[in-house]
Structure 1
Amino acid sequence: MFYLLASIVLNTILFVLFKFYSRFGIDNLQAIVANYWTCVVTGCLVLGDFPVSVASVDESWLPWALLMGSMFFSVFNLIAYCTVKEGITTTTVANKLSLVIPVIFAPFLYGETLGAIKIAGILVAFPAVYLTTKVEDHGRKTQELLWPILIFVGSGLLDTMVKYVQAFHVKSDAELVSFTIHTFVVAGTAGLITVIVQLLRGKIRLHWKNLLAGIVLGIPNYFSIYCLLHFLKSGIMHSSAAIPVNNIGIVLLSALIAILFFSEKVTKLRVVGLILSILAILLIALGDLNGTGV
């Protein structure tokens, strides 16, 4: 249970940090790149070794690390942008309601039951995302609605792959840490290439405060993945329940902090969307706990 609580708190910290970064003029791109290399260093300290070598090509999980690392960089940038533009609550719900995607895959990958209650939760999740991300602004651009949707899809696919790799490709704690380090190396490399291109084009300038912000972000980011993987590995719940329980905690804590400390706008639509998001997650978790498939 420790890993569950730690995952909730650490993930919430990430959203809060992005909100602060916008106030202090932090370049999210530079901070995110520094964050991933901080994750690499943190992982190596935990493992006591730097596991990336020629021998890595023999690991069955390496293709997944390459794919997931690239996706982590892209989705994390979207989360940073959306947190600033759309707010913590909208971004968190779009990010965490993506749990419907791994739930849909669970019966095919792990033979888990997908009964009527879970299906009801999945169906409720979609209007929840729409209502939470919708604001009463008729001049809003359609393109802006795409960011939460892209976060929803990208995060869901990442959650699915995290559980799949943990279930079929990672056999020990040391291998678990090694896999996460490889994933962060890929994400950091993709980010470094992006920064170099932007520098050469004169689009950005390096600043020490962005590096410092990335270090502050990287430590909780590494341990958020570390704790989630250990929670899934514990086997306390099926993946179709473990991820919803984890995500509902993040949604509630993030929404509470956004309202209390950031004075985010609370509209009727967002309240309904937030209530529906909680209902969706509870239905999916209840469907798993019932174990009846109905």
Structure 2
Amino acid sequence: MIYIILSICCSVTVAILLKLAKRYQISIIQAVTVNYLAALILCFLFLKPDVSLVTTSAPWPNYIALAILLPSIFLFLAASVKNLGIVKTDIAQRLSLFIPILAAYFIFKEDFNNFKIIGLAIGFAAIILTFLRKSDKKDDKGNLLYPIMVFVGFGVIDVLFKQIALYKDLPYTTSLFTVFCLSFIVSLLIVIVMVISGKIKLQLVNVACGLILGFFNFGNILFYMKAHKALAENPSTVFAAMNLGVIIVGTLIGVIAFKEKLSKLNYAGIVLAIAAVIFITLSQNAVR
């Protein structure tokens, strides 16, 4: 579980940095581009990937899909916040847990014991309650494309990383390096197109933000993949514990650091989330 805890810490830090970036008018796409450059450099220096092992037999469909999804999802995330607000976007992102959980059962053929079923049921309720917010504004009934893309995107990304972690013929560190390289290329192309079209202007401050973001993003993905390696027989444990852990830690930091107000339903959601993590953890040692 140590890898899951480390991944949660890195993930929450990334979320905090993105929130601060919005406050200080940082270009998300520029920071994300530098982030992938920093991540692939860290991967090369510390993990020593053997690029010569990457052949035509490698899982290129997964690599290419991740290379497109990883940078693109940040754009949909920003668009969703702009059109439907942070609340609905957060709910869409966390509810993406449904996709990898279903994949764990239907694709990875994982058996679900009673502890895990109870934990997941409580967890789904916890996700909804934790992110319920009171709003003085009427619900925006505009285009639902952006939150749907956030929901599907994060869910599919989880599944793709799981498949790469289980690929036996290629070290996952080499796969990770390949994904970072391709993601950097895709995000760089997006930046070039946006600069040429006049939508954004290049600024050096985004480089500094991107370097910091890349450090924690690298740690988040690395530990997440290590968790899947360590718990190869229980992918739903990693899926659920990671998402619920981010909810708990993220909510606590939101209350303490950003002075966000929580309702009684929100606190009930936190309690349920903790209970869900306990049940899912117990399912590890339960007899099927």
TM-score range, shorter chain: 0.7 to 0.9
Compute the displacement of 1:142 (Å): 3.0
**TM-score for the superposition, normalised by structure 1:** 0.82
Higher helix share: 1
Identify the residue that residue 105 of structure 1 maps to in structure 2: 103
Percent sequence identity over aligned pairs:
27
One-letter code aligned to 1:176: Y
More deviation in 202-211 or 66-75? 66-75
1:185 to 2:184 alignment: no
**TM-score for the superposition, normalised by structure 2:** 0.83
- 1:162-208 CA-to-partner distances (Å, cap 9, x unmatched) read 112212x2456xx2111111112222222111111111111110000
1:96-245 paired onto structure 2 within 5 Å: 96-115=94-113, 118-123=116-121, 128-137=126-135, 138-143=137-142, 147-167=146-166, 169-171=167-169, 175-235=171-231, 238-245=234-241
Return the alpha-carbon distance in structure 1 between the equivalents of residues 81 and 271 of structure 2. Answer: 20
Is contact 2:89–2:150 with CA below 8 Å preserved after alignment? no
Compute the displacement of 1:271 (Å): 3.9
Aligned residues: 285
1:34 to 2:30 alignment: no
- 1:10-68 CA-to-partner distances (Å, cap 9, x unmatched) read 111100101111122101111111111111111111234672x7x73423322211111
Return the alpha-carbon distance in structure 2 between the equivalents of residues 278 and 103 of structure 1. Answer: 18
Question: What is the alpha-carbon root mean square deviation over aligned residues?
Answer: 3.1
Is contact 2:118–2:279 with CA below 8 Å preserved after alignment? yes
Return the alpha-carbon distance in structure 2 between the equivalents of residues 239 and 86 of structure 1. Answer: 28
- 1:115-146 CA-to-partner distances (Å, cap 9, x unmatched) read 55544555555555455444333423134876
Identify the residue that residue 14 of structure 1 maps to in structure 2: 14
Is contact 2:123–2:244 with CA below 8 Å preserved after alignment? no
Q: 1:73 to 1:24 in 2, by over 3 A?
A: same
1:252-271 paired onto structure 2 within 5 Å: 252-271=248-267
Q: 1:74 to 1:48 in 2, by over 3 A?
A: same
Instruction: Say which SS state the counterpart of residue 58 (structure 1) adopts.
Output: coil
